[in-house]
Chains A and B, each alone.
Chain A
Amino acid sequence: MRKHLFKTLGILAVSAFMTWGCSSSVTTHDYSVNDLNFELVGPLFEGPNQGQYALEIDLATALGDAYEEGMTVTDAHLKGATVLAGDSLGFSQVRSFVLSFASDNSEVAMQEAAFKNPLPEGATEVALDVAPDAELGAIVAEGKLYLVLDADLAEDFYDGNRNFKLNLSLELTVKS
């Protein structure tokens, strides 16, 4: 009798787990955003100088018709990041770029996500090398995140600011 009861409970537990598992689906979506402006405010010194951009990702807008109420980001990976010149100076005196993601949440650590070192000579745009292991899900799930672009300058630059633009492409894993 007792053995039969355990068997029945086991079957019920497995059924409940399968029902729960089937009711929540996981899908992946591409999300791209272009022309994010990074201003490196002078005076700038030889070495690394940072610019930052506060990006807000509204999932409903990002997913469009695919969005369903209650969807949350469970994982995110950078697919591509391209830096473009934001002023007439182009990439003059820039030795390398590093792109990082950060969040205000004290539980979520900053992640380096892409870099280019050194920059190709004479480039008019620079496709960064993506770090495939960078897990950005916890940062992107916050909704508001900070993109940080570090430009390593070969010389001091006192005459104003430097500007760069960033095109970004992410793969979002979303659970409903």
Chain B
Amino acid sequence: MLRKISLWAMSALIAFGSLNFELQDSPGDKLLGVWEPSNGRARVKIDRIGNKYYGRIVWLIEPNDPETGLPKTDKNNPEASLKNVPLKGYRMLKDFVYNEDGTWSEGTIYDPLSGSTYNCVIKMKDKNTLDIRGYIGVQALGRTDVWKRLSVQPAKK
């Protein structure tokens, strides 16, 4: 009986160990969360898909188009077929890969106001502050915006 229990405990331990290993976070996951750009006009939630990081607009200070009264769409998208995609939910940060030097690069940032996409690199200054640098060609020719982490709690029912 004792031997059976020991075997069961051993199996459970091994199973838990492998499960734990599978669920282990990637070091780049410290980027996950909800962030606010310096202008405070939007909030962006960063998720991981596969081994890359993506940021969706989850809140807009002005969610509706003042001209139509309807939720804003990505009307400045250069691709005509995507102009009716809702802006809330749009992935403005795409395809970031975590590097050993603590940055996330290889990604792009989309500016919905102009419909332009820029190369981008993300640096974490501290756990609640990001430097988001958008650039064309070389990083020296770019602009950095500071984003702050938001602590998101579910609203009370």
A residues near B (Cβ < 8 Å) are 43, 45, 47-48, 50, 52, 54, 95-96, 98, 100, 102-104, 106, 108-110, 112, 115, 117, 129-133, 146, 148, 150, 152, 156, 158
Q: Tell which of B57, B84, B106 touches A106, judged by Cβ atoms closer than 8 Å.
A: B106
Query: What number of A-B contacts does a CB cutoff of 8 Å give?
Result: 79
Q: Tell which of A50, A115, A132, A146 touches B56, judged by Cβ atoms closer than 8 Å.
A: A50
Residues on the A chain within 8 Å of B71, using CB: 95
| Contact A47–B58 (Cβ < 8 Å) | yes
What are 12 A-B pairs at a CB distance below 8 A? A98-B89, A102-B50, A104-B51, A104-B52, A106-B97, A109-B95, A110-B94, A117-B86, A130-B81, A132-B81, A152-B88, A152-B89
| Contact A131–B82 (Cβ < 8 Å) | yes
State the main secondary structure of chain A at its contact with B: strand
| Contact B155–A133 (Cβ < 8 Å) | no
Question: CA A155 – CA B66 in complex, angstroms?
Answer: 22
Within 8 A of A (CB), among B35-66: 47, 49-52, 54, 56-59
Q: Tell which of B86, B97, B157 touches A48, judged by Cβ atoms closer than 8 Å.
A: B86
Residues on the B chain within 8 Å of A54, using CB: 50
| Contact A48–B56 (Cβ < 8 Å) | yes
Residue of A nearest to B43 (CB): A47
| Contact B82–A50 (Cβ < 8 Å) | no
B residues near A (Cβ < 8 Å) are 47, 49-52, 54, 56-59, 71, 73, 79, 81-82, 84-86, 88-89, 91, 94-95, 97, 106, 108, 154-155, 157
| Contact A158–B154 (Cβ < 8 Å) | yes
- Residue among B59, B85, B108 facing the most chain A CB atoms (10 A cut-off): B85
Question: CA A157 – CA B118 in complex, angstroms?
Answer: 35
| Contact A48–B82 (Cβ < 8 Å) | no
Residues on the B chain within 8 Å of A52, using CB: 49
Residues on the B chain within 8 Å of A108, using CB: 95
Residues on the B chain within 8 Å of A109, using CB: 94-95, 108
A115-B50 CB under 8 A given contacts A50-B56, A100-B91: no
Question: CA A43 – CA B154 in complex, angstroms?
Answer: 8
| Contact B73–A117 (Cβ < 8 Å) | yes
| Contact A150–B89 (Cβ < 8 Å) | yes
Q: Tell which of A47, A50, A106, A129 touches B95, judged by Cβ atoms closer than 8 Å.
A: A106
Question: CA A41 – CA B33 in complex, angstroms?
Answer: 15
